[in-house]
Amino acid sequence: MSPSSRQRARRRAGTGRHHAAHLDRWHRAAEIRDEWLRAALHTEPADRETAERAITGLYALLGRRRPRFHWAASPWQAVDLLDEPPIRLGGPVDPTAPWHVAHQLADVAHRLAGRLDERAGPAGTFWWTTERIARTRPPADALAAGVSLAELLVVGVRDSLDRSVHDGLRTPLRAALTEAVGEPPGLRWHGQHDAPWVAYHDVRRRLRPGLFHPDDDRQVDLWADIARSCGWWWPREDVCVVTERTGVAHTEALPGALHGEVRTHNRHGPAVGYADGWGGHAWHGTAVPAWVIEEPTVERIGAERNVEVRRCAIERLGWDAYLDQARLALVAEALDPGNPGCRLQLYELPQRVWGTPARVLLAVNGSVERDGHRRRYGLSVPADLDDPVAAAGWSYGLSGEQYARLLRRT
């Protein structure tokens, strides 16, 4: 072997070892991420002693004494205990306001994140190519294609948990709280539902022990203890209102997820709920009002302004029931060339339902659901389409002739 060939072989071997080391660290990061997802979904009673000790530790960072703790069964009950108007941000901060301590804690958390990024090195700005690779390829393939471990931690840990926890858990609860009491009091923390940002820092320090300054490590410990031990909490001057953890959390795997993402879904009641019966509803990851799950009707669907809520309500009611009860007129039907054995049905949709003149194309999903069935779904299509095949093609950005030549869609 020539010297140049040996040099190339050594480079390839070094690259292979480097990739293997990064892949091992990624597998460890994914294990830690999944630990945090389980914490966010935990439904056992709060560990009140740990939560109070950690919150007291954060108060101490501000030079404040231990607050009086009031425990609530749910965020809805916590808002009732607080009995204060919503906080309007944007003006000067009033240091005498009872929520000033919450503002101070927000500043503490912000400065902590800045210091941790300085020590660990921020993920930096993605090149558009590496970002696309990180978000569309399995982790091993992404690393092999040149995505850095730091970039993969952003996508596969922080963003993954943000999608599962913030979008999946906090959003339905926030929607339900707003529906119940109007705009809830602001400047709160979310305990177990703060997992995304806490987990991101926890992963980085556990992959590289000694990375952070001991004082910052101890502060991360405080935030982590809170996230592992309780639900939402409202820090105030001398009082802290803390909620129990969720009592139920119904989730399903997010279709096509590369990093273990889940979404909330329950067709029989709250997708995320508490022991006092209060909770938020979701349909395949979309936050919806309670009536969508518990009492969907054609009349309510027609009166609903949000198109996504209407879609979810129709799916909950069932397309066959909706078509029958709403008395929609069939325009045309045809065999689905992209889904052999299934039919496409085009219906006239009342303008009062969709807000604009439209038609709905009823189709069958090309892929099988986890229960072995294929989901029937409706797509809003322009009102001037008379051919179901052309309407199906339109939904893919194709002409009817192009869609008719598909071997199979998914």
pLDDT digits (tens, 9 = 90+) for 143-189: 999 999 999 999 999 999 999 999 999 999 998 998 888 776 677 99
**CA–CA gap between residue 277 and residue 252 (Å, rounded):** 21
Residue 12's pLDDT is: 45
pLDDT band at 97 (very low <50, low <70, confident <90, very high): low
Residue 260 predicted with pLDDT over 60:
yes
Task: Return the exposure string of 334-353: e unless at least 16 CB atoms fall within 10 Å of the residue's CB, then b.
Answer: bebbbbeeeebbbbebeeeb
pLDDT digits (tens, 9 = 90+) for 357-374: 778 899 987 666 665 567
With respect to residue 348, please indicate whether it lies within any of the assigned structural domains. Answer: yes
Residue that wins the pLDDT comparison between 92 and 252: 252
With respect to residue 320, please indicate whether it lies within any of the assigned structural domains. Answer: no
pLDDT band at 7 (very low <50, low <70, confident <90, very high): very low
With respect to residue 277, please indicate whether it lies within any of the assigned structural domains. Answer: no
Cβ neighbours around 248 below 10 Å, total: 15
DSSP string of 68-118? EEEEESSHHHHHHHH--PPP--SS---TTSTTHHHHHHHHHHHHHHHHHHH
Residue 95 predicted with pLDDT over 80:
no
Are 236 and 338 found together in one domain? no
Instruction: Compute the average pLDDT of residues 94-98.
Output: 62
Residue 44 predicted with pLDDT over 60:
yes
- What residues does 240 pair with on adjacent strands? 69, 235
Instruction: Compute the average pLDDT of residues 133-152.
Output: 93
With respect to residue 281, please indicate whether it lies within any of the assigned structural domains. Answer: no
Are 212 and 345 found together in one domain? no
Residue 387's pLDDT is: 94
With respect to residue 8, please indicate whether it lies within any of the assigned structural domains. Answer: no
**CA–CA gap between residue 166 and residue 307 (Å, rounded):** 22
Residue where a domain terminates, one of 247, 277, 298: 247
Are 224 and 342 found together in one domain? no
With respect to residue 22, please indicate whether it lies within any of the assigned structural domains. Answer: yes
Which segments of 293-388 are extended strands (E)? 330-335, 343-349, 358-364, 376-382
Are 375 and 241 found together in one domain? no
Residue 15's pLDDT is: 53
Q: Which helix (H) or strand (E) holds 179?
A: helix 171-181
Indicate if the alpha-carbon torsion angle 15, 20, 22, 23 is positive or negative. positive
Mean pLDDT, the chain, rounded, equals: 88
Residue that wins the pLDDT comparison between 62 and 80: 62
Residue 355's pLDDT is: 63
Are 335 and 222 found together in one domain? no
Of 23-32, 175-184, 308-317, 349-358, the range with the highest mean pLDDT is: 23-32
Crossing angle for the helix pair 3-40 and 195-207, to the nearest 10 degrees: 140
Instruction: Compute the average pLDDT of residues 333-344.
Output: 88
Residue 409's pLDDT is: 53
Q: Where in the sequence is the domain holding 342, given as residue range(s)?
A: 328-405
Name which of 60-69, 83-92, 187-196 the model is least confident about.
Answer: 83-92
Are 51 and 153 found together in one domain? yes
Are 237 and 332 found together in one domain? no
Are 334 and 236 found together in one domain? no
Residue 20's pLDDT is: 87
Are 335 and 238 found together in one domain? no
Residue 10's pLDDT is: 44
Q: How many domains does the chain have?
A: 2
**CA–CA gap between residue 353 and residue 346 (Å, rounded):** 16
Residue 11 predicted with pLDDT over 50:
no
Residue where a domain terminates, one of 229, 247, 265: 247
Residue that wins the pLDDT comparison between 186 and 238: 238
Reading the block at residue 245, the tokens are 């953890």
Residue where a domain terminates, one of 187, 216, 247: 247
pLDDT band at 8 (very low <50, low <70, confident <90, very high): very low
- What residues does 280 pair with on adjacent strands? 272
Where does 230-280 have alpha helices with state H?
A: none
Residue 210 predicted with pLDDT over 70:
yes
Name which of 3-7, 128-132, 206-210, 242-246 the model is least confident about.
Answer: 3-7
pLDDT band at 9 (very low <50, low <70, confident <90, very high): very low
With respect to residue 289, please indicate whether it lies within any of the assigned structural domains. Answer: no
Are 211 and 79 found together in one domain? yes
With respect to residue 169, please indicate whether it lies within any of the assigned structural domains. Answer: yes
Are 337 and 233 found together in one domain? no
pLDDT band at 85 (very low <50, low <70, confident <90, very high): low
